[in-house]
């Protein structure tokens, strides 16, 4: 179904002038990278469990989730292009210090937990290949730090785009697992409702894993960094849409793989690592290794972007110098914050008996609590004529955006209530 859309899209693209393709290639990046990173360790765990526990039962959520993701990402991309400022910048300038500081505190807490979750993903995925976490986590943290601190923006972006490409391993895994395409197609469009609490938790979890507050900040900052022109905005919009589609196709394959193998064999798994291990006898070494590598790639990728996005956001909001093109002496707060998040996040994973679950749980709760505020701030900003001029939301877009936000907020509130009780 989705593949057909993409094929039509491709034939449409070949009719475009070569010049447009060149222009598109020049602005491509932020949308695809941000959407890919959305599938981080936590997200992949959620989708794996969705497939392993309910088979194709949750596939139908992908279409509404994709729409919600596109709406949220597009608004930030548009704000970035039109105002030339990051989201934290705009919030500080339009909502004052108090709101900004509260938001920043929440974001730092949430992202710190998320960063730890990524390193937990690195540890788990490398353990599948028999590498101890005491080796894999420090090396991954060091590599990430070196890449981001020593690399230039264009090099970093190219490597990130490559990492986005690696998600194809999930598609190959999915194809190798031999799904029943007829059933898959039906389940993709026909909602199946199951009233078990676990189903509900996974449904809400899937939505929550899709739109995280930090992504909104990240896409806007990276678009500003890239300095995309208003006249090229249509290509950025395409970048965002393609990114979201491709990302959710990856999600589709993750669910597919686990559903055709683990679910249909009635095996019970609780983590992404268990799922990958269960795949070895069921789908063959090849598919299982690809699946495990996908988790590793996603974790390292997100571990490099999360602390970076956080450091940008804090410095933008408070007014400290920030940016990878500055030296440590010029932007000490920025580098210190980035390094701390990365190092402490990685170290805690290595501490025996560290309360990992509690920290990750708190970060999930923080994510959920922040999201409504971020979405409402975004909607207020994007409808501000002084900032956006003629690029404010159209009425239709506002209806879609507000209803998306309200649904997201309600679902997140449900998660919070479930988490707490």
Partner 1 sequence: MKEPKNFTKTDTGNQWSEWYRELSVQGIENPRFFSQYENTKVFDNTGVLLGRLKDMAIRSGEAMLEVSSIVYATNILGEKVIMPMSNVGSFNGSINLNIAKEVIPPGKLSENEMLMTETILDKQIVDIDGLKVVRVNDVMLARVKGILSVIGVDVGFKGILRRLWAPSITEKLFAKLPNQIIPWSYIDPLDPELRKIHLNISRKNIQDLHPADIADILEELDNKERLLILGSLDDETAAEALGEIEPDVQDTVINNMESENVADLLENMNPDDAADILSRMPEERATEVLEKMDAEDASDVKELMEYSEKSAGGIMTNLFLSVPSGTKISDVFSIIRESCHDIDMIYYVYVLNGEEHLIGVLSIRDLLLAGSDQIIDDVMETEVLSVLPSSSTDEVANLLSKYDFLALPVVDENGVMLGIITFDDVMDYIIPGDVKKHLPKNYPKSRRMH
The contact set with partner 1 (CB under 8 A) reads 19, 22-23, 26, 83-85, 92-93, 96-98, 101, 152-154, 224, 226-229, 232, 318-319, 321, 323, 325-327, 329-330
**Residue 23 CB burial class (10 angstroms; 0-12, 13-18, ≥19):** middle
Kindly tell me which of 168 and 318 has the beta carbon lying closer to partner 1: 318
Cβ-contact 72, 83 below 8 angstroms: no
Min dist CB 108 to partner 1, Å, is 15
CA distances from 142 to 73, 102, 156, 218 (A): 30, 31, 15, 22
CA distances from 256 to 53, 185, 266, 369 (A): 12, 11, 15, 31
Give backbone dihedrals phi and psi of 152, rounded to 5 degrees, phi first: -90, 165
Q: What is the CA radius of gyration of the chain?
A: 20
Min dist CB 337 to partner 1, Å, is 14
b/e string for 33-61 if b means 16 or more Cβ within 10 A?
bbbbbbbbbbbbbbbbbbbbbbbbbbbbb
Kindly tell me which of 319 and 355 has the beta carbon lying closer to partner 1: 319
Min dist CB 388 to partner 1, Å, is 13
Min dist CB 350 to partner 1, Å, is 31
Query: Which CB contacts under 8 angstroms, 24+ apart, belong to 324-333?
Result: 324/148, 324/149, 324/151, 324/152, 324/153, 324/156, 325/152, 325/153
Min dist CB 78 to partner 1, Å, is 15
Min dist CB 88 to partner 1, Å, is 11
Q: What is the DSSP letter of 194?
A: -
Length of the chain: 421
Min dist CB 23 to partner 1, Å, is 6
Helices marked H in 211-353 — which ranges?
A: 213-226, 233-258, 272-318, 332-350
Please tell me whether residue 180 adopts helix, strand or coil conformation.
coil
Q: Which residue has tokens 């971020």? A: 374
Cβ-contact 124, 295 below 8 angstroms: yes
Kindly tell me which of 98 and 268 has the beta carbon lying closer to partner 1: 98
Min dist CB 302 to partner 1, Å, is 24
What is the four-CA torsion angle of 99, 311, 381, 220, rounded to 10 degrees? -170
Kindly tell me which of 223 and 259 has the beta carbon lying closer to partner 1: 223
Please tell me whether residue 167 adopts helix, strand or coil conformation.
coil
Kindly tell me which of 152 and 336 has the beta carbon lying closer to partner 1: 152
State how far the Cα of 149 lies from the Cα of 131, in Å rounded to an integer.
26
Kindly tell me which of 156 and 365 has the beta carbon lying closer to partner 1: 156
Min dist CB 229 to partner 1, Å, is 5
Kindly tell me which of 226 and 273 has the beta carbon lying closer to partner 1: 226
State how far the Cα of 173 lies from the Cα of 188, in Å rounded to an integer.
19
Min dist CB 399 to partner 1, Å, is 24
Min dist CB 154 to partner 1, Å, is 6
Kindly tell me which of 119 and 218 has the beta carbon lying closer to partner 1: 218
CA distances from 234 to 30, 86, 177, 240, 379 (A): 14, 19, 38, 10, 20
């Amino acid at each position: 179904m989705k593949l057909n859309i993409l094929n039509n899209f491709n034939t449409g693209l070949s009719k475009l002038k070569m010049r447009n393709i060149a222009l598109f290639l020049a602005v491509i990046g932020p949308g695809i990278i941000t959407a890919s990173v959305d599938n981080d360790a936590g997200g992949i765990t959620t989708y794996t469990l969705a497939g392993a526990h309910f088979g194709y039962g949750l596939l139908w959520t992908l279409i509404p989730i994709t729409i919600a993701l596109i709406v949220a990402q597009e608004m930030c991309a548009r704000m970035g292009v039109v105002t030339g400022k990051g989201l934290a910048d705009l919030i500080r300038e339009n909502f004052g210090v108090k709101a900004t500081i509260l938001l920043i505190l929440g974001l730092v807490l949430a992202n710190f937990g998320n960063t730890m979750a990524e390193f937990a993903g690195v540890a788990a995925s490398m353990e599948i290949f028999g590498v101890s976490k005491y080796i894999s986590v420090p090396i991954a943290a060091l590599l990430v730090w070196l890449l981001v601190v020593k690399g230039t923006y264009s090099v970093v972006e190219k490597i990130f785009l490559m990492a986005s490409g690696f998600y194809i391993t999930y598609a190959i895994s999915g194809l190798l697992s031999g799904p029943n395409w007829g059933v898959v197609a039906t389940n993709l469009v026909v909602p199946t409702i199951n009233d078990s609490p676990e189903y509900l938790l996974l449904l809400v979890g899937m939505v929550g894993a899709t739109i995280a507050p930090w992504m909104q900040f990240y896409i806007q900052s990276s678009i500003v960094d890239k300095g995309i022109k208003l006249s090229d905005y249509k290509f950025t919009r395409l970048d965002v849409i393609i990114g979201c589609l491709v990302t959710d196709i990856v999600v589709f394959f993750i669910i597919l793989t686990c559903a055709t193998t683990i679910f249909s064999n009635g095996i019970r798994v609780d983590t992404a690592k268990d799922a990958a291990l269960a795949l070895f006898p069921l789908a063959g070494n090849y598919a299982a290794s690809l699946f495990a590598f996908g988790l590793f790639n996603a974790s390292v990728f997100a571990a490099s972007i999360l602390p970076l996005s956080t450091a940008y956001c804090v410095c933008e909001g408070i007014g400290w110098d920030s940016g990878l093109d500055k030296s440590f002496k010029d932007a000490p707060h920025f580098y210190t914050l980035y390094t701390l998040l990365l190092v402490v996040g990685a170290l805690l994973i290595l501490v025996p008996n560290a309360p990992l679950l509690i920290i990750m749980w708190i970060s999930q709760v923080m994510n959920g609590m922040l999201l409504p505020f971020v979405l409402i701030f975004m909607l207020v900003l994007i409808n501000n004529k002084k900032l956006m001029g003629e690029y404010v939301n159209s009425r239709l877009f506002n209806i879609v955006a507000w209803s998306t936000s309200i649904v997201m907020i309600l679902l997140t509130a449900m998660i919070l209530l479930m988490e707490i009780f």
